[in-house]
Amino acid sequence: MLRYVLRRLLISAVTVIGLVLVTFLVVRVLPGDSAAARLGPEASQADIETLRTQLGLDDPLPRQLLDYSTGLLHGDMGPAVSTGRPVSDELLDRLPATIELAVAGLVIALLLGFPLGLLAAARPGRPSDALARLFAVLGSSMAPIWLGLLLIFGLYSTWQLFPGPVGRLPIGTPPPPEVTGLYVVDSLLAGDFALAGQSMQFLFLPALTLGLGASAAVLKMVRSAVLQTADSGFVRTARAYGVPGREVLLRDQLRNAMLQVLTAIGLVFGFLLGGNIIVERLFNWPGMGRVAYDALGSNDLGLLQGYALIIGTLYILLNLVVDLVYGLIDPRVRLGGSSS
Amino acid sequence: MKAQSRRSRLMAMATALSVAGVLALSACGASDDESSQSTKKALVISLDSAVDVMDPQQWRTPASMVTSGSLVEQVIEQGYSKTGGVQVGGTDFNEALAEKWEYSKDGKTLTITLRDDLTFADGSPLTADDVVWSYQRGLEMATAYTKVLYPMVGLTKDSFIAVDPGTVEVTSEFGTPLLDKMLAMQPFGIFSKKAGEEHATSDDPWAGEWFRENNNSSGPYTVGAFDKTTSVQLTPNAKYYDQDKIANGGVTIQFISDPSQRALLLRNGEIDLAGGLPLDQVAELSKVDGLSVVSEASNRLEYLGLNTGKAPFDDKRVRRAISLALPYQTFVDEVLYGYADPASGLVSQSMETHAADSAAAFKTDLAEAEKLLAEAGVQGFSTTLSYKQSSAVEARAAVYIQSALKDLGIDVQVKPLPDAEFTQRTVARDLEMYLNNFLAWGADPFYQMASLAGSGAGTNFTNYANPALDKLLQQGFRSMEQADRDAISAEAQALLIEEMPTIPLWNPKWTYVVRDGVTGLTKDNTEQLRLQYLSKS
């Protein structure tokens, strides 16, 4: 097991290094001059050149990469040209909002996708399976922006069941004392249940927008993985011994399908962390995605690079955690067998 | 807020899905906002952008300019006259921090006498040293936007002297009416020298970093709360020199990046005023009970830039021919939904010295256009029209331009560019034909013309250079008499119509949508909202 963990850690470290290299190079080939963008069109060429020198943009590419990598080791991603603040501060300040939204989206995706997937797998080809698959098709084919608009129109504007898209709390409401940065958790820790309720109200529509799309992926993966086990010997044997179908489904089929399902959950959570730029903008959710969107408009390449790096690193960490959990679930992995 | 409780109950009933826990907790979330006990009510507004920095000399977005401008006061301010529900700044000025301001006979020396007992928000005294430091900062700080204005009014770093704690002397190389206009702009408000020096470093002698996020206000507001991705809450500055000039109990600017959501929140009463809305939605909102559209003529100019360094745009007859093929009224009616004025020249109709006959030059006359092209020996060509992909208005206008120029045998390829690339390529001056807009602060005709057509101007992206025009513009900057300014401006405007390096298309109106009871919208000479005059009944 130790060798397995070490191997996974090494692979993750190499992937992070690759990620640093790729984000660095991609940002360098994008059009736009950060110094000119910061100073505006009326700036003199001399001022632009001075700022370019200050920011190190005139240095050779290998030197820039070395400086950037050295800075990263000290937690320094350089300054955001649009605000002058460190990129790491700009992004990490917003990370809790993004995580809170992604976790809520994942919870909704699991609550919807898991039971529907099981229901579909329990009776393949029956009406319940057809309905679940229809839900999966609709969920995966609806663009988040369209779904979000639909939810805002219906649940906020028309029926006023949920609050409008103004962020994490009502306008003018101060946030809870910061412990984790997750408003729901921090409100509960502060004993302010009313604020926790408000936070959840504001969280619900953007999380539902994310979660509905993601639930389709979970549903399809659960259904497919459980169905794959249906013809296994252990299932046939259990049935031959007269074990009730529900028990076989939940105890034998589902447990054996969990490796694939776990992979799907890891992928879905990664998607929810990095793929919510549009949802954050639509709901004015003050997360990293919205910062990245604004950075695109202001040509703040350093901020975009930092965003890609943080999301990419989170994704790698998620995969690492999933890989390690494999080891706990499947003894073959622990003992050095197949890990896939 | 009773509706809120009803919502919660409905919500609980509606949860057939697996969200019961969420909804149960949400019932606890309904809470009333305490209405203000003050007679002056607070407002919630949403503009076309978010606020990124608090420094009025370094702002990057219009909302930042509005916000940071509210954290400084100027020595003088514009006089405002009421036009159609809007207070519009004119060319007369009143005292603000200054008790009086006087020019020498030759107009080159300005003496500013400050009011007694002025203080910043922290209670520290505001003196002549602060005024001098602020004006020098606007010129010398590398990241200051304001520096471009100083040469236009003949100011250098040695122009400012604190004669005594209450008196500042400003010496210009020449007298010019633009100086008053400039001093009344919010970016020329007064900073705390003490705060600046406390936070200056050897790399940042003007404390640019500190003022980006902090302030010691001399203006009508201080910052109550600020979250860069959510909102900024401005609260009245108790140390402001004239409390009667603050007509509200504070302003919260909520950052709603999607304009459609902004319109929705306005319609549902969550915000009191919205700017930067798509004009089709403005037209729709004008029909909604409880909302009104406030729309006022603007000097902002949308124009078609032509690269005069590239053939065939290097021939003024070709440029003039293109201008004669464009459907100016169609732009206003179909693209701007009526919220614009048709082109009337680089110096717009609402700007001083506008030449009355220049508007007639912007008409559609295909026969004349074909004649000019024939004279230039040009028989149809292909070109590319670029614009910012974020601009829906320019995207629509581009199609009309493409269609209009097809009638002249010109094949136009329409090309939306990412905003960053558009900015980079306009600054590099390599676009053939492009849509862009510009506003000269101060509503000054010579600033406007110099910025768009002056040789080497940072915002003249056309490569156009004409020494004769430059000479006229310099004369204009230095003329104190209105009759002289009118004559010089008219000559320059005529020259620009003949040469047509940039083709004016329309002046979009200064437009906001407000809820009933919101009054006091005030447009200054930078065409930003002056928040302190907003009120709500």
**Min CA distance, B230 vs chain A (Å)?**
6
Question: A38-47, A87-96, B346-355, B504-513: lowest mean pLDDT where?
Answer: A38-47
Nearest CA in chain A to B209: A84
The predicted pLDDT at position A41 comes to: 63
Interchain proximity B256–A157, CB inside 8 Å: no
Q: Which domains does chain B have, with CATH numbers?
A: 43-253+516-536 (3.40.190.10), 300-510 (3.10.105.10)
Secondary structure of residue A7 in the 3-state scheme: helix
Average confidence (pLDDT) over B131-154 = 92
Nearest CA in chain B to A104: B22
Interchain proximity A32–B420, CB inside 8 Å: yes
Task: Using alpha carbons, select from A103, A32, A1, A9 the residue that is nearest to residue A316.
Answer: A9
Interchain proximity B229–A171, CB inside 8 Å: no
Mutation site, B13, B19, B34, interface A, largest A CB count within 10 A: B19
Who has greater pLDDT, A28 or B397? B397
Which residues in chain A touch residue B255, judged by CB atoms under 8 angstroms apart? 284
Q: What is the percentage of chain B residues whose pLDDT exceeds 90?
A: 80
Is pLDDT above 90 for A30?
Answer: no
Interchain proximity B459–A41, CB inside 8 Å: yes
- The tens digit of pLDDT for each residue in A262-303 reads 888 888 898 898 878 899 999 999 999 988 888 877 777 888
Q: Which helix (H) or strand (E) holds A240?
A: helix A233-240
**Least CB–CB distance from B424: residue in A33, A195, A282:** A33
For A92-282, CATH number? 1.10.3720.10
Is pLDDT above 70 for A335?
Answer: no
**Min CA distance, A231 vs chain B (Å)?**
31
SS3 content of chain B, % helix, strand, coil (to 5): 35, 25, 40
Interchain proximity B420–A296, CB inside 8 Å: yes
Half-sphere exposure at residue A104, Cβ-oriented, CA atoms within 13 angstroms: 27
- CA–CA gap between residue A131 and residue A329 (Å, rounded): 31
Interchain proximity B227–A174, CB inside 8 Å: no
Average confidence (pLDDT) over A87-116 = 94
Average confidence (pLDDT) over B55-81 = 93
**Min CA distance, B207 vs chain A (Å)?**
12
- Whether the complex's predicted ipTM surpasses the cut of 0.90: no
- The tens digit of pLDDT for each residue in B345-376 reads 999 998 999 999 999 999 999 999 999 999 99
Average confidence (pLDDT) over A147-165 = 93
**Least CB–CB distance from B458: residue in A43, A164, A168:** A43
Residues A148 and A289: beta-carbon distance below 8 Å:
no
Residue B79: both structure tokens together:
């006089």
Report the sign of the C-alpha dihedral through residues A69, A72, A74, A76, in that order. Answer: positive
Interchain proximity B268–A196, CB inside 8 Å: no
- CA–CA gap between residue A76 and residue A68 (Å, rounded): 8
- CA–CA gap between residue A157 and residue B264 (Å, rounded): 7
**Min CA distance, A320 vs chain B (Å)?**
30
Interchain proximity A33–B270, CB inside 8 Å: no
Interchain proximity B29–A171, CB inside 8 Å: no
**Least CB–CB distance from B423: residue in A41, A82, A198:** A41
**Least CB–CB distance from B25: residue in A51, A197, A286:** A197
Secondary structure of residue B100 in the 3-state scheme: strand
Task: Using alpha carbons, select from B75, B14, B332, B534 the residue that is nearest to residue A155.
Answer: B14
- CA–CA gap between residue B255 and residue B257 (Å, rounded): 6
Which residues in chain A touch residue B11, judged by CB atoms under 8 angstroms apart? 161-162
- The tens digit of pLDDT for each residue in B197-218 reads 999 999 899 999 999 989 999 9
Helices (H), B70-177: 128-140
Which residues in chain B touch residue A203, judged by CB atoms under 8 angstroms apart? 22
Which residues in chain A touch residue B229, judged by CB atoms under 8 angstroms apart? 94, 167, 284, 286-287, 290-291, 294
Domain boundaries, chain A: 92-282
Q: Which DSSP symbol is given to B42? A: P
Interchain proximity B264–A164, CB inside 8 Å: yes
Interchain proximity B229–A94, CB inside 8 Å: yes
The CA–CA distances, whole Å, from B497 to A254, B356, B360 equal 78, 13, 10
- The number of angstroms, rounded, from the C-alpha of B396 to the middle of its chain's C-alpha atoms is 23
Secondary structure of residue B240 in the 3-state scheme: coil
Average confidence (pLDDT) over B83-98 = 90
**Least CB–CB distance from B257: residue in A41, A164, A284:** A284
Report the sign of the C-alpha dihedral through residues B322, B327, B331, B335, in that order. Answer: negative
- The tens digit of pLDDT for each residue in A186-221 reads 999 999 999 999 999 999 999 999 999 999 999 999
Who has greater pLDDT, B53 or B522? B522
**Min CA distance, B187 vs chain A (Å)?**
15
Nearest CA in chain B to A188: B25
Nearest CA in chain B to A169: B230
The predicted pLDDT at position B15 comes to: 39
The predicted pLDDT at position A4 comes to: 80
- CA–CA gap between residue B164 and residue B161 (Å, rounded): 9
pTM of the model: 0.84
Question: How many CB pairs (< 8 A) connect A and B?
Answer: 171
Mutation site, A28, A198, A200, interface B, largest B CB count within 10 A: A200
Residues B234 and B252: beta-carbon distance below 8 Å:
yes
Which residues in chain A touch residue B419, judged by CB atoms under 8 angstroms apart? 297, 299
Is pLDDT above 80 for A47?
Answer: no
- The tens digit of pLDDT for each residue in B98-115 reads 999 999 999 999 999 999
Is pLDDT above 80 for A7?
Answer: yes
Q: What is the percentage of chain A residues whose pLDDT exceeds 70?
A: 94
**CA A34, A36, A37, A43: dihedral to nearest 10 degrees?**
150
Interchain proximity A172–B252, CB inside 8 Å: yes
**CA B86, B226, B64, B508: dihedral to nearest 10 degrees?**
-50
Which residues in chain B touch residue A174, judged by CB atoms under 8 angstroms apart? 225
Average confidence (pLDDT) over B454-468 = 93
Which residues in chain B touch residue A117, judged by CB atoms under 8 angstroms apart? none
Interchain proximity B148–A83, CB inside 8 Å: no
